[in-house]
Amino acid sequence: MSEPVLAARALSKSFGPNDVLKGIEFEVHAGASVALCGENGAGKSTLIKLLTGLYHPTSGHVEFNGNQEDWSSPRASLDAGIAVVHQEFSTIGALSVAENIFLDAEPLTRFGLIDRKALVSRTEALLDKLGIHLPARSLVDELSVADKQMVEIAKALRSDARVLILDEPTAVLSQNETRHLFKIINELRARGLGIVYVSHRLDEIFEICTDITVIKDGVVTSQGPVADYSHDTVIAAMVGRELGNLFPEKPHGAEAGIPMLAVRDLVVADGVPPVSFEVKAGEILGLAGLVGSGRTELALAIYGAEAVSGTVLIEGEPLDYRSPSNSIDAGILMLTESRKDDGLFLNSSVARNFAATTPGHGVHPARVAIGHEEARARVMKDRFGVVVDNVGLPISALSGGNQQKVLIARLLENRPKVLILDEPTRGVDVGAKSEIYKMLRHLADEGMAILAISSELIEIVGLCDRVFVMRDGELAAELMSQEISEEAIMSVAAAETSSHHGVASNG
């Protein structure tokens, strides 16, 4: 076989004591498109950043056109011919399509001024070549998300690229737009570009990729031509880990409690199908699905932050006027996914953070004694095992896990009936994770209904009594006790529906 255009040779990357990638071997040939698969956190993004020079390898090297390369910056790899379409858009709304595509590479007149005519004509020629129909003079602000993605692709290909890396390019595209993108990718491939395609959607991978490389925990677990794979074998290579004793035991044959939270025909946003389900007292219900499948949006809708229509009932009582503050009064509390932005007062003490939502709890509001917060916080500290010498220290001095414990403890001060947790252990070390799981199980045993969102499959599998897998905003599958496994969740989450992304539902 011919020499690969771009390759990783025994590529490793460590951040401090964490080995993110361990001896990755990866090749892209001209005219081939390689799918890069793996769970969240498997190391895909790190690999891309190494290939393009945003990170430098700890050991091993990147090979481009057969030469060993050590890119000094992403600009260097771009100039050499590696174009990347990032997940986060780098388009600029205030500029036109043409100005975006040729930003800082505008054609100039002999006086060094921008040649507006050439700018537009070169943009039109490029878009024409790519089969993208966009007016070159339109402001990017006025474009749809999909068209912004097209601008991004055109920008990546404004100079002659040898390799195009696409990171989750269809996450924001509709079915037609995805089709169009695939056409463009196939044409580029026919012209001899090497493509690296990162996606969670297996059907897409089987449709447009020629090879597959699967990464798990920083190691390549499987690679080969796409013909050698089926959905199941790809999933099997992506997942599969021992649960160990990280999780508390689930109650066997738990008798169903009364429905604590009921959701009826909740429409989260226009065009998303209504959702109905219940969470029973004593139950931990998991919401699994890919990032962007609508989990957080659903949770926020239940909490009252956003929704179009529908009813939420607590112990059979419908909540009339829905807002977060009404939900809190009714007993629904939510822990959001971004601890630092939404939950913590980083410069305040542990005690102040803990008592923030319930100041003067348990005493007359006019007679809150000095030291009351600290006294309550010391009780909390012992009860939840928060590791801190003094509750008067700023909470920023605590580890992520201990911060999260304080936040959960704070929620519990409001005596919730229903607890919604979005990524409850993000950024938390393994030891603290285990303690948080035990805490949640204990709360459920006491009769609380818990709804947990997590991108870590192992957490959903180990912790939850029942799981809903979300896809494109709907509850695609319900899994009960024994059916809950990483494979089962992944095969639902990564499948495509004919209604939205269904590019290959019949074959």
133 binds another protein (CB under 8 A): no
Residue 369: count of CB within 10 angstroms of its CB: 9
Give min distance, CB of 17 to another protein, in A. 29
The helix (H) or strand (E) run that includes residue 11 is strand 6-15
Question: Considering Cα of 261, then 266, then 269, then 272, what sign does the dihedral take?
Answer: positive
- The residue (of 108 and 379) whose beta carbon lies closer to another protein is 108
Min dist CB 44 to another protein, Å, is 19
Contact by Cβ (8 Å): 139, 95: yes
Beta carbon of residue 394, minimum distance to another protein (angstroms, whole number): 23
Among 1, 113, 366, 370, the residue binding another protein under the rule CB under 8 A is 113
Q: Is 488 left (phi over 0), alpha (psi -120 to 50) or beta?
A: alpha
For residue 95, the minimal CB distance to another protein (Å) is: 6
If you ran DSSP here, which 8-state letter would residue 114 be given? B
Q: Is 145 in the site for another protein (CB under 8 A)?
A: no
State yes or no: residue 75 binds another protein (CB under 8 A). yes
Q: For the chain, how long is the longest CA-to-CA vector?
A: 81
Judged by CB under 8 A, the stretch of 103-111, 173-181, 214-222, 257-265 that binds another protein is: 103-111
- Contact segment (CB under 8 A) with another protein among 106-114, 124-132, 230-238, 302-310 equals 106-114
Select 97 or 408, whichever has its Cβ closest to another protein.
Answer: 97
Q: Which of 9, 49, 86, 250 binds another protein (CB under 8 A)?
A: 86
CA distance 147 to 154: 10
| Separation of alpha carbons 23 and 21, rounded Å | 7
Per CB under 8 A, the list member of 112, 271, 365, 507 interacting with another protein is 112
What track of x and - describes contact with another protein for positions 477 through 496 (by CB under 8 A)?
--------------------
> Judged by CB under 8 A, which of 33, 46, 91, 293 binds another protein?
91
Q: Does 108 bind another protein (CB under 8 A)?
A: yes
| Cβ count near 502 (within 10 Å) | 15
Amino acid type, 217: D
Instruction: Label residue 449 exposed, middle or buried (CB < 10 Å: 0-12, 13-18, 19+).
Output: buried
Q: Is 118 in the site for another protein (CB under 8 A)?
A: no
Residue found by looking up tokens 């537009």 in the block: 120
Total of chain residues touching another protein, rule CB under 8 A: 25
Cβ at position 90, least distance to another protein in Å: 4
How far is it, in rounded angstroms, from Cα 312 to Cα 292?
A: 23
Contact call for residue 137 and another protein (CB under 8 A): yes
- Give the H/E segment covering residue 444: helix 430-445
d(CA 464, CA 145): 35
90 near another protein, rule: CB under 8 A? yes
**Angle separating helix axes 372-384 and 400-412, nearest 10 degrees:** 110
Q: Does 104 bind another protein (CB under 8 A)?
A: yes
> Locate tokens 């926020």: which residue?
300
Decide if residue 430 touches another protein (CB under 8 A): no
Binding segment for another protein (CB under 8 A), chosen from 84-92, 186-194, 258-266, 462-470, is: 84-92
Q: What CA–CA distance (Å, rounded) separates 58 from 218?
A: 13
* 75 CA to centre of own chain: 27
Stretch that binds another protein, among 85-93, 307-315, 320-328, 403-411 (CB under 8 A): 85-93
Query: What residues make contact with another protein under the rule CB under 8 A?
Result: 74-75, 78, 86, 89-96, 99, 103-106, 108, 112-114, 116, 137, 139, 155
